[in-house]
Amino acid sequence: MVTNTRANNTKPGFFQNKRKYLTTAGIGLGLTAAFFFPAKKSNHLIGASIVPTDMLKSREFGAFPIISPTFKYGFVVDTFEVNEGAVAPNTTMSGLFTGHNISTVEVEEMVAKSKGVFDISHNFRVGNKYAFFTERGESTPAHFVFEPSAYEYIVFDLKGETKVTKVVREITTKRSMIAGTIHASLWDAIISLGVGFDVAAKMEDALQFSVDFSHTQDGDEFKMIYDENFIDNSSFGAGQAYAAYYKQEDRESYVFWFEQGNYKGYYDIEGRPAQSTFLRAPVKFTRISSRYNLHRRHPILKRVRPHLGTDYAAPYGTPIYAIGKGVVVAAAYTKGNGRFVKIKHDKVYETQYLHMSKFAKGIKKGAVVAQGEVIGYVGSSGLATGPHVCFRFWKNGKQVNFLKQMLPRAKPLPDNVLPAFMEVRDQYLQLLNKKDKPAGEMASKALGSFAP
């Protein structure tokens, strides 16, 4: 969509032609002023009358108020014809520019000059915002502005030798809090509060070791304290998450961000590292479509066949993560499993990930992987009715139900650090447990300068 804007709130040259505008106020005004205010030595001639200096000041700033100019991308738009829009599908860069009286030669010059600052030829994508600034009375734009993201824009000065400048917008942060109740999924609940997907991602990252978000239930409650980023007073995403809470039935999970010396990360309410041996799920933002079941009827084979894993349904191409560090012992294809990866974590535990669309780069037998590393992508290879990952978990050589395992807990912070953590934790708890607004009605509530 392209819009043409002609700003009318300030006439060109207002401040440079003040005398002209005062004259057009009318001879009557001048005569009236002369009648009531006798002439003095220090005077200014306006129209057909003589007005004292002090009267002139009152007329300038009273009868003719100064109107602030409108700025965009650093330009005073009142002096330009501004054509702005967003790159539409099937739009080429050359097509966009030639439609604004910029020749192919000039476009090639722009591309050449932008290299080293911003390579527009490789970053010209559908949805990117742009604006042409054309001086009044001219037919060719003087400036072109391109937004590769909300956090920066590129200015092409088209007069004379093309000059290219990258401008990074100033980001400010405010400490905020969200709280709500789940009725469908965590994502749906958070989006309904008027904040972005990245806020949901921050919550899932903070609680990934203690909450399985593929198994949310109606009525689950959540809260989070985090940094909210702003550009030009508009919210543009989430920064660091400092504290998060999740309640499912009678189980409550807390995590708190803490930094001191060599200790940095999320810790639970007792001061134990939130990071455990394994992630709670191999994919994010998903749901369980089939559980571990020794008596499941196979959807394709149409006969009872034990299902020794947990199926997580997700769109094609969704990243699959290693739930723990280890060594890849198999990255192969079979008729039933499709593309799969098997990882040995230690002498006790192994995991397997089935039905991948493809392996991640570098994933092969013998590769060492870290916890949370992408090892492949969701697909439906092998015996699968749709895109999902079948996740299997071995303990001492036997496949078991991962969702029912009591995994070993990490040791808490040492005694000389624990008091400092408890102080930070208690400040966050005081905020999380405030009852001034019920869950579900608090969205991006600003917490001022509070910063434990």
Question: What's 134's domain CATH number?
Answer: 3.10.450.350
Residues 269 and 295 in one domain: no
Residue 333 belongs to a domain with what CATH number? 2.70.70.10
Residues 139, 235: one domain?
no
The contacts of residue 185 (CB under 8 Å, 6+ apart) are 213, 216, 285, 287
pLDDT tens digits for the chain (452 residues)? 444 444 434 333 433 343 333 333 343 433 333 333 343 333 333 333 333 334 434 444 455 566 667 888 888 878 888 998 999 998 888 888 888 888 888 888 888 888 888 888 888 889 999 999 998 888 889 999 999 988 889 999 988 777 889 999 888 888 999 999 998 888 888 888 888 888 888 988 899 888 878 778 899 999 999 998 888 777 777 889 999 999 998 889 999 999 998 899 999 999 999 887 888 889 986 778 777 666 556 565 565 566 778 899 899 999 999 999 999 999 999 998 999 999 999 999 999 999 999 999 999 999 999 988 999 999 999 988 889 999 999 999 999 998 888 776 677 899 999 999 999 999 999 999 876 543 333 444 445 434 44
The domain boundary residue, chosen from 168, 198, 226: 168
At 245 the pLDDT is 95
Residue 302 sits in the same domain as residue 261:
no
Q: Which helix (H) or strand (E) holds 167?
A: strand 163-168
Assess whether 356 and 342 both reside in one domain.
yes
Is residue 184 included in any domain, yes or no? Answer: yes
Last residue of a domain, one of 152, 168, 184: 168
Question: Do residues 393 and 380 share a domain?
Answer: yes
159 with 87, same domain: the answer is: yes
Any domain includes 61: no
- Residues with Cβ < 8 Å from 190, sequence gap 6 or more? 178, 180, 197, 199, 200, 203
By the 8 A CB rule, do 299 and 382 touch? no
Residues in the chain, total: 452
Q: Where among 135, 168, 201 does a domain terminate? A: 168
Do residues 272 and 421 share a domain? Answer: yes
Range of the domain at 380: 287-404
CA distance linking residue 292 with residue 311, whole number of Å: 8
16 in a structural domain? no
Number of domains in the chain: 3
- 65, part of any domain: no
Of 360, 361, 343, the residue nearest 352 (C-alpha): 343
> What pLDDT sits at residue 295?
56
Same domain for 85 and 142, yes or no, is: yes
pLDDT for position 30: 39
Query: Do residues 110 and 126 share a domain?
Result: yes
Q: Is residue 58 part of a domain?
A: no
* ∠ Cα 406 410 415 (to 5°): 140
| Alpha-carbon span 264 to 385, nearest angstrom | 43
